[in-house]
Chains A and B, each alone.
Chain A
Amino acid sequence: EAGVAQSPRYKIIEKRQSVAFWCNPISGHATLYWYQQILGQGPKLLIQFQNNGVVDDSQLPKDRFSAERLKGVDSTLKIQPAKLEDSAVYLCASSLIQGRNTEAFFGQGTRLTVV
């Protein structure tokens, strides 16, 4: 079974520039998550999709971050404009079903450096 795919693996941009990350979840997985992991911290949930609908985006800085999941499959996360504090690893994860004790499968992550 292919895992969660993310691209790019690394990205360096200047502050105030924009950037986009792409995620392809495991086939058939209805739930998709984007997490932000700042160095030394645990992953923080930014947004959670169920199929192509958003079920939680309470921690997404909506003035600069946006995400979409077209046709309930692939997803993109965009930052515009980027700030220095956005430097982090952005993790995408997916799970087969929504509900109790569902295992989330993670991608390798995209390491973003804002200079």
Chain B
Amino acid sequence: AQRVTQPEKLLSVFKGAPVELKCNYSYSGSPELFWYVQYSRQRLQLLLRHISRESIKGFTADLNKGETSFHLKKPFAQEEDSAMYYCALGAGGYQKVTFGTGTKLQVIP
């Protein structure tokens, strides 16, 4: 069975401070990890995926198979980063995607 855990429901940081949104997963096979974001009144959308190893809007995430983690990081938070962030795990030949419970990031001006 696949499982995604996001331990923080709410994370509040000041503008300019570093951000780390935690994500741990459980899956016996080779996982595909994603971060999705939902800004206020907008639809859920992909932020980044681990295989791309890219930085999107200043965010990066590294897959750590030893710790089964895929934490999302940004060195300097901006007000426009305030949103709900969901970690997701894709698995199996049909890419069944399981989401975590989400973390609300609140950037304080």
Contact = CB atoms under 8 A, between A and B. Distances in A.
Q: In which size bucket is the chain A interface?
A: 20 to 34
25 contacts: A4-B43, A33-B97, A35-B99, A40-B9, A42-B4, A42-B101, A42-B102, A43-B86, A43-B99, A44-B99, A45-B97, A50-B94, A55-B94, A56-B96, A91-B44, A100-B32, A100-B90, A100-B95, A101-B32, A101-B90, A104-B46, A104-B97, A106-B43, A107-B43, A108-B43
Chain A CB count within 10 A is highest, among B51, B93, B94, for: B94
A107 to B, nearest CB: 6
Contacts of B74: none
A99 interface: yes
A19 to B, nearest CB: 21
A40 B32 CA distance: 24
Interface of B: 4, 6, 9, 32, 34, 43-46, 49, 51-52, 86, 90, 93-102
B97 A103 contact: no
Contacts of B49: 101, 103
A8 interface: no
Nearest to A104: B97
Shortest 10 CB-CB distances between A and B: which pairs? A42-B99, A106-B44, A55-B94, A42-B101, A43-B99, A103-B46, A106-B43, A101-B51, A42-B100, A101-B49
A27 B102 CA distance: 29
Contacts of A17: none
A41 B103 CA distance: 10
Given A4-B43, A98-B95, 5 more contacts: A42-B86, A45-B97, A48-B94, A48-B96, A98-B93
